[in-house]
Amino acid sequence: MSEALMGVYNRAPLEVDRGEGVWLHARDGRSYLDCVSGIATNALGHCHPKLVAALQNQAEKLWHVSNIFRIPGQEELAEKLTGASFADVVFFANSGTEAIEAAIKTARKYHAAKGSPERIDVIGFAGSFHGRTYAAVNASGNPAYLDGFGPRLPGYVQLGLDDDAALAVALAAPTTAAVLVEPVQGEGGARALSPEWLCRLKAMARAAGVLVIHDEVQCGMGRTGRLFAHQWAPGSEPDIMAIAKAMGGGFPMGACLATREAAAGMTVGAHGTTFGGNPLAMAVGNAAFDLLADPALLAHAQAMGERLTSGLTKLAAAYGDIAVDVRGKGLLIGVKLHTNNREMMATARDHGLLVAGGGDNCIRLLPPLIITAREVDTALDRLATAFAATRRALAQAA
Ligand SMILES: *Cc1c(COP(=O)(O)O)cnc(C)c1O
């Protein structure tokens, strides 16, 4: 590993050379079934021909212009996103954490524009992850991401997910601006919030004049079998939503979506970005949207999610010494382990399967949504082999 890189990542010793669909081919000639997908990002698999064509075509025409000019690809993708969601308007960014930053600023500015600038507090939840900007690490409140970076910012409140009484108190506070939640927690360990909880949150927030922000950076864009995860919970629609990861199929981009009302404070000069929504990104984003929003693909993702979840549930039952339970939604699946999740990631890799880690000692399976039934079964076979190897190692150690 080069000493020239800042050492912020715990990288697996794997050098990927080429990707094709759900497969990654390493330099040493080995092939891996990819159930990481760049953390729920390569939702259409690697090198999808339509995304490759969109990128190549645009690369020969125009890469970048400033947002001081009209960008037709932005207008097109914004129409598609608002046409498929609760939202009326879209701001394009380059990443998930920037989409969250825009969402939090939109919420605070809404209250300021309405004459309540004291409403700044953002309520976040234990186990959440919103990215790595100052606003995002303060919103998620995870000490591991806050330590050593100076004092915590004012204006952030952390609650447990099951503390309704504290939630009611926080929502009623006169300084509260917004509540920020992932409908399915990703990094926290694939925890799907119930439709009832999401609808109750929306109703309570609305009654208190507090905006609801959904972080669908990981669970959105088809991952759960609906274009947006909250669409499983009609009535829970947020006022503001951040998306990113899968929306570019691997090309960096993010977006903050909002109702016209919630975005009322975001007037000329209130926010901006150099790269966000540039023509190269929008060419890929439009092509990716058309594929991800296809009802047939969403139904396929749901079916593959059910197949993988049911196989994993059987596997967990057969390996009660290794697995605790299976959780998540669609193709955002976690398996909570008794044994160390990092070691299981390495063992699975040794058996040709890539899985991600997650909070609560989970391994996470986030395959491309285009994974076939046969490939799901291959993933299950390989994980079963990894579980068996772990059991043998445990027996030897005992
Ligand atoms: C990955 C992620 C982010 C941050 O996105 P980046 O593109 O890494 O900045 C924010 N929220 C959730 C739920 C995520 O999974």
Q: What average pLDDT does this structure show over 158-167?
A: 95
pLDDT tens for 355-379 read 999 999 999 999 999 999 999 999 9
Q: What average pLDDT does this structure show over 309-324?
A: 98
Q: So what's the pLDDT on residue 339?
A: 97
Are residues 74 and 213 in contact, defined by beta-carbon separation less than 8 angstroms? no
Q: What average pLDDT does this structure show over 176-190?
A: 97
**Residue of 245, 251, 329, 336 marked catalytic:** 245
Burial of residue 83 (number of CB atoms within 10 Å: 0-12, 13-18, 19+) = exposed
**Residue 263: pLDDT above 90?**
yes
251 lines ligand 1 (CB under 6 A): no
Cα of 319 to ligand 1 centre, how many Å? 32
Q: So what's the pLDDT on residue 398?
A: 86
**Residue of 91, 125, 202, 215 marked catalytic:** 215
Are residues 130 and 215 in contact, defined by beta-carbon separation less than 8 angstroms? yes
**Residue of 91, 125, 129, 251 marked catalytic:** 129
- What is the average pLDDT value for the chain, to the nearest integer? 97
pLDDT tens for 122-143 read 999 999 999 999 999 999 999 9
141 lines ligand 1 (CB under 6 A): no
Cα of 253 to ligand 1 centre, how many Å? 11
Verify whether residue 215 is a known catalytic residue.
yes
pLDDT band at 146 (very low <50, low <70, confident <90, very high): very high
Verify whether residue 245 is a known catalytic residue.
yes
231 lines ligand 1 (CB under 6 A): no
Cα of 89 to ligand 1 centre, how many Å? 21
Domains and CATH numbers, the chain: 16-34+296-397 (3.90.1150.10), 49-292 (3.40.640.10)
Q: So what's the pLDDT on residue 1?
A: 81
217 lines ligand 1 (CB under 6 A): yes
pTM of this prediction exceeds 0.85: yes
182 lines ligand 1 (CB under 6 A): yes
CA distance 329 to 304: 11
191 lines ligand 1 (CB under 6 A): no
The tokens 């204006």 sit on which residue? 155
Verify whether residue 109 is a known catalytic residue.
no
Q: Residue 136 CA: which ligand 1 atom is closest?
A: 10
Q: So what's the pLDDT on residue 27?
A: 94
Q: So what's the pLDDT on residue 182?
A: 98
In single-letter form, the type of residue at position 132 comes to R
pLDDT tens for 236-248 read 999 999 999 999 9
